[in-house]
Structure 1
Amino acid sequence: MKLKTLLFASTALITGILSGGCATANHGANSGNTLGFTPPKLQREFRGVWVATVGNSDWPSKPGLPVAEQKAELLAILNRAAQLRLNVVVFQVRPGCDALYNSKIEPWSEYLTGTMGKAPSPLWDPLGFAIDESHKRGLELHAWFNPYRAYHFNAKSPISANHVSKIKPQIVTRYGRYLWLDPGEPETQDYSLSVVMDVVKRYDVDGIHFDDYFYPYAEKAANGKELDFPDDVSWKKFGASSGLSRDDWRRENVNTFIQRVNAAIKAQKPWVKFGISPFGIWRPFNPPQIKGYDAYSKLYADARKWLVQGWADYFVPQLYWAIEPKEQSFPALLEWWNAQNPKNRIICAGVDATKGLAKWSPEEIPNQIAITRKHSGPGGYVLWNMKHTAQNNALCSKLRNEINLQNALVPALRWIDRPAPSQPVIKISESISATHQTVSWSNASAEDVRFWALQSRTDGGWTTEIFPATRTTQTFPRASLEAIAVTAIGRSGIASHPGVVEISPAGSRTERLTSPKMRRAKNTE
């Protein structure tokens, strides 16, 4: 994140009282005046948390809850995320070819209602609700899909008639305790892509997210021997004549799908982020000290290639190990992933909050987050998972009071050709009360705004708040307000020039109305 030189383009006085008791910042000619308060640089950091629905891990707490309780639990999660000054909620909406949203392609999830295919009553849409409520809190909502898992072994209800295993049995195979879409079947790619793009087209999501499940983790037979994935049919139809080894063919199946998903999202809504959270070790000995599971050869996931090619906007390698152990070193692995990033995509560390209470010292996770902040490129962290994060009072206190002292924006997609929103115009109202005044703002391209970043200076200190595009007012105590800066944040994260209003020292009401100064500054990112 490079600090850009501040350029103050104009200084103008508010010269009159408008109808309704408002003063409006007026853009004057360039005077070269750079005096006055300078708002601090807006912080950019991806601060996420996973909210898993498979097995009712995070939400809902159990299947079949009344709708009011489901909503209350989801709101509590979003409130906690906002309280901790996180900015991304990664919400699992397709745990096993089912849907935590109103889909015409796949059945309602049993984790919501207790029965696969049964709609909630009264009918509601958890994904749409989560998106709206996240945005109200200044949070991005990323819809998390499992692209290939068709049925999880902990599912309890019968498979519904509209499940893919019933309507497209030719692309579904049983593997150990699971049902799995065969990645070697081209129809599998078409099917899962259609599910993803249905959500991209119909919902105002900020991102699409895949985790580490591509080809499955190995299942074992009764004798303890690992089972090979049963793709003989697709291999004979499509792989044997490809000129590739079976392993390379499997990897290429996943590579092609990742590339297609990215291209389809960008063609439909370029600002929607595509993120992938691969297993934290690409291959053993990368870097040389690392030992462990080989996701490249076992899951057929060449995540390094996806990163090098720029086939996603952000990557969250699951670095679920502590700082000290050399053979799975959190900092060594993070450094390695950052070094594989020629296109400067967002690199976040997946942080294992499940170990924060029982296995690790209270300082381990804060120290891991501190390590992520040493890297110069766009980055951040994602906490696994919400339940264990929320249960760790010490971690929550650290996040709120030490680690995330100010709200931050998600790093912008600077490789997407999107114009910046226009600069906000700020109005100061004097009519609310003797002790408080209201600030309002607007710009000429409100349809391109996802969030507003409101920076206020009171009693000598600056505070940053993130508001949804629909909110354009805030009230402050009259005596302490010294300056206001408002920046429009576009859907791709690109920021406008901030509008800045300086409030004169405490004095008469007339002085407050006639003496605030407004200047335009170059974006301080």
Structure 2
Amino acid sequence: MASKFHHTRILWHRWGANTLFKLMKLPLIERSLKRFSPILVLISFVAVLLLNSLSPAMAQLPRQEIRGVWITNNDFNVLKERTKVQEAMTQLRQLHFNTIYPVVWNSGYVMYPSAVAQRTGIQPFVFRGSDGHDILADLITQAHSRGLLAIPWFEFGFMAPPTSELALDYPQWLTQKRDGSQTSISAAGEVVWLNPFHPEVQQFITDLVVETVTQYDVDGIQFDDHMSLPYEFGYDPYTIALYTQETNNSPPSNPQDQSWMRWRADKITAFMVQLNQAVKARKPNAIFSVSPNYYDFAYKFQLQDWLAWMRQNIVDELIVQIYRPDLQSFVNNISRTEIQEAQQMIPTGIGIMTGLRNRPVPMQQIKSQVRAAQARGLGVTFFYYETLWNSAPEPPSQRIAGFQNLFPVPAFRSAMGRGE
């Protein structure tokens, strides 16, 4: 993208210079132009400077602006009713949203009828609506009929509750810390971690992802900060043996040893490359979306080198989660250089918190953060649907008016290969 913009800018420079040259050759105005040529040269110089100064913003213009919302299992009261889904999608379209990210993988369970899950012995979680319909299929149909993209979201990644069927039935798939413990505390509570280096785990995740993109008319697939591994993990027997085989050394006792961190991060990157290839083989136009934390945190604490993923051209869309109540902290994080780099390559947005069940977020905070993102040419995605206006500190009418103010005009998106 940056190279295309650079080429366009050069053409504009040439056009300006050629036009000025041709004008100066016209006999009737030759003398006048000679008199004013210093001024014309100055105007041309200023125009070039302005064009150069606008490079980042103009480079972002052809990118399709992301205006999305995550739809979680907390939204099930809406999802299970066809009429409520219709109303929700209509409302989002009227407010000029353009993308939904419905959860399909949460707590060790899938949210749709899955042959892969059944083969594994995992019973589907909640996949039927009030009249027995396929919730995900209905949601995608309703979204598409209103011009919204539908990109299912593998929320839990390699994470699962310790009491889930997946964790209990496949203990060999779990990784552990150096002291042998297998759990950590996350926003979802106590969790275990599937071993991202184990081939059976990789195959299981790949099968679920491929099933989703082939079984449904999706526009893409998204992975967030849990498609990773906390740096303390990786001391399970399988990973120790693999590391020893490849390096002729045992894993360092310090989990933050740089070479040990790099080895694990690179392994996750290699898997993501394979996963991308598997998705594209089935649906070449599918948007491969990632929604991590800001890079420094993602790599140091979660071994998630998403900057490498992006530079290896396996990321089609980036949404960086910046959940900060303090505006200055929010602005500092959305101004990071890796986000600016992403903007030159792919559609880029910021994940903004609109509230949790026990932690409402005022509309003024949402507005100030969206405005800060928009000022930097960034899209936005909100966490999560019910807290947009149904579970909020202000009345629904006030919240809806707030979003109308933030998105006064439409920003249509198309799937890759259908308008990009």
Length-normalised TM-score, structure 2: 0.70
**1:213 is aligned to 2:226:** yes
Match of 2:183 in 1: 175
Cα RMSD of the aligned pairs, angstroms, is 3.4
Consecutive unaligned residues in structure 2, runs of 5 or more: 12-60, 176-181, 185-189, 252-258
Q: Partners of 1:332 and 1:298 in 2: how far apart?
A: 17
**1:186 is aligned to 2:186:** no
* Amino acid paired to 1:48: G
Match of 1:273 in 2: 287
1:250–1:241 CA distance, 2 compared to 1 (3 A): same
Match of 1:99 in 2: 110
Q: Partners of 1:355 and 1:101 in 2: how far apart?
A: 24
* Amino acid paired to 1:390: W
Counterpart contact for 1:255–1:306, Cα < 8 Å: yes
Q: Partners of 2:334 and 2:130 in 1: how far apart?
A: 46
* Aligned partner of residue 172 in structure 2, secondary structure: helix
Matching residue within 145, 151, 171 for 1:136: 145
* Aligned partner of residue 410 in structure 2, secondary structure: coil
- Percent identity, aligned pairs only, is 22
Match of 1:318 in 2: 321
Q: Partners of 2:366 and 2:241 in 1: how far apart?
A: 48
Match of 1:78 in 2: 89
Match of 2:245 in 1: 241
Match of 2:349 in 1: 348
1:374–1:356 CA distance, 2 compared to 1 (3 A): farther
Match of 1:409 in 2: 412
Match of 2:27 in 1: none
1:304–1:95 CA distance, 2 compared to 1 (3 A): same
Structure with the higher strand share, 1 or 2: 1
Match of 1:199 in 2: 212
Structure with the higher helix share, 1 or 2: 2
Work out the number of aligned pairs and report it.
Answer: 335
Q: Partners of 1:363 and 1:306 in 2: how far apart?
A: 35
Deviation of 1:86 (Å) = 0.6
Counterpart contact for 2:157–2:224, Cα < 8 Å: no
* Aligned partner of residue 382 in structure 1, secondary structure: strand
Match of 1:389 in 2: 388
* Amino acid paired to 1:59: F
Counterpart contact for 1:93–1:99, Cα < 8 Å: yes
* Aligned partner of residue 103 in structure 2, secondary structure: strand
Q: Partners of 1:88 and 1:133 in 2: how far apart?
A: 12
* Aligned partner of residue 100 in structure 2, secondary structure: strand
Match of 2:270 in 1: 256
Q: Partners of 2:183 and 2:83 in 1: how far apart?
A: 37
Counterpart contact for 2:157–2:223, Cα < 8 Å: no
Q: Partners of 1:80 and 1:122 in 2: how far apart?
A: 23
1:80–1:152 CA distance, 2 compared to 1 (3 A): farther
Q: Partners of 1:190 and 1:46 in 2: how far apart?
A: 31
Q: Partners of 1:403 and 1:213 in 2: how far apart?
A: 30
1:310–1:374 CA distance, 2 compared to 1 (3 A): farther
Match of 2:69 in 1: 49
Deviation of 1:75 (Å) = 3.5
Match of 2:98 in 1: 87
1:124–1:355 CA distance, 2 compared to 1 (3 A): closer
* Aligned partner of residue 312 in structure 1, secondary structure: coil
Counterpart contact for 1:50–1:384, Cα < 8 Å: yes
Deviation of 1:397 (Å) = 1.0
**1:330 is aligned to 2:339:** no
* Amino acid paired to 1:388: T
1:411–1:339 CA distance, 2 compared to 1 (3 A): farther
Match of 2:379 in 1: 380
Match of 1:59 in 2: 76
Matching residue within 145, 148, 164 for 2:154: 145
Q: Partners of 2:330 and 2:374 in 1: how far apart?
A: 17
Counterpart contact for 1:262–1:274, Cα < 8 Å: yes
